[in-house]
Structure 1
């Protein structure tokens, strides 16, 4: 990826990539499809990205960064760990997990990473970034253990995947409630 991210074209391409991937998946999407949806010339995609793989990797990073920015904003005025956990749960539940485009893209690229070493390396980095977000001091959700952060990420991924596989929204919401209670209990016990 070239360091020419200053124009709005770069962001338009990433947004279009996420929408295309969410609609058709990585196997069916082409750079031409993305260029058409972004209303840019194909050459503009090649100007910013070496190939389709680098575009997909950057689209995953972009989607995750936007989600993290939104979560940080949501948590910015919470005053207690309990309130932060509840707000984080609500934000993830309503904005990013249940049927969202970014989650479809994330799972699609995780599947590709099983066979593609470059994608595996990139998606491992994305997952490590998410673990670090869960552990971050500015998140202040009371999780300071890497193992627990990985467990939370696995639970969130698992709930989203179950939703995509047909679990009812009410069932997933109930599971979120249980995850929230478990985190509140964990933090309460840890702080004793």
Structure 2
């Protein structure tokens, strides 16, 4: 019979869980480069292990399969992206400041993180065929809609459905800008932000 108090056992279990989560996060960050370069369809666990300088056994220990690892990578990145948008809006108040803050944050993300956004769109498309991707994609899109709803409230434009409508409008422009940044003619921050600002002014 254990003589360790239940609260100490729980604390120990919590520490173990946090340690495992941190390790999974580190592996996911290391795997991102391979996924960004090759895309979902062309990347195997062996490719990820080689690019991330990890053993295949290590990957299998923390992630059951490639799908689980890729979903963790996308969730980790998009959480940071959403957090950045929320932070940009946190100090903005009033229609113009909110629109400018969001437009600048989106433009900055396209310039700095286009290759990672490309992976997100790859996975989002895959979700139409593979049910395993749908819950994570749905959660991420719900979070993005919530950001838009927050912006709408701050601009006095809150109304039913603004999150879904705003997401559809903003995402269409964002995806086109990102695609052009990767495969076409890259544009500067001011140009991207101005285009995004026009969309936001229509929405709000």
Same fold, judged at TM 0.5 (above): yes
In structure 1, the partner of 2:29 is 15
What is the CA distance between 1:104 and its match in structure 2?
A: 0.5
Secondary structure of the 1:26 match is coil
Q: Assess if the C-alpha contact under 8 Å between 1:81 and 1:140 holds in 2.
A: yes
Q: CA RMSD in A?
A: 2.9
For residues 68 and 161 of structure 1, do their structure 2 counterparts lie closer, same or farther at Cα, with a shift above 3 Å needed?
closer
- Which structure shows the higher helix fraction? 2
For residues 75 and 6 of structure 1, do their structure 2 counterparts lie closer, same or farther at Cα, with a shift above 3 Å needed?
farther
| Distance across 1 between alignment mates of 2:167 and 2:64 | 30
| Distance across 2 between alignment mates of 1:143 and 1:37 | 46
Q: Which has the larger radius of gyration?
A: 2
What is the CA distance between 1:143 and its match in structure 2?
A: 5.2
Deviates more, 1:3-12 or 1:67-76: 3-12
Answering whether residue 83 of structure 2 is matched by residue 69 of structure 1, we say: yes
Secondary structure of the 2:91 match is coil
Q: Which runs of 5+ in 1 are unaligned?
A: 187-192
In structure 2, the partner of 1:190 is none
Deviates more, 1:33-42 or 1:99-108: 33-42
| Distance across 2 between alignment mates of 1:43 and 1:5 | 21
- Normalised to the residue count of structure 1, the TM-score between the two structures is 0.77
Answering whether residue 106 of structure 2 is matched by residue 116 of structure 1, we say: no
Q: Alignment length, in residue pairs?
A: 181
| Distance across 2 between alignment mates of 1:57 and 1:94 | 24
Q: Assess if the C-alpha contact under 8 Å between 2:93 and 2:154 holds in 1.
A: no
For residues 39 and 88 of structure 1, do their structure 2 counterparts lie closer, same or farther at Cα, with a shift above 3 Å needed?
same
Equivalent positions of 1:14-163 (< 5 A) are 14-96=28-110, 100-136=114-150, 140=154, 142=156, 144-145=158-159, 147-163=161-177
Secondary structure of the 1:6 match is helix
What is the CA distance between 1:62 and its match in structure 2?
A: 0.9
What is the CA distance between 1:145 and its match in structure 2?
A: 3.7
Q: Assess if the C-alpha contact under 8 Å between 1:13 and 1:35 holds in 2.
A: no
For residues 106 and 83 of structure 1, do their structure 2 counterparts lie closer, same or farther at Cα, with a shift above 3 Å needed?
same
What is the CA distance between 1:155 and its match in structure 2?
A: 2.2
Answering whether residue 198 of structure 2 is matched by residue 178 of structure 1, we say: yes
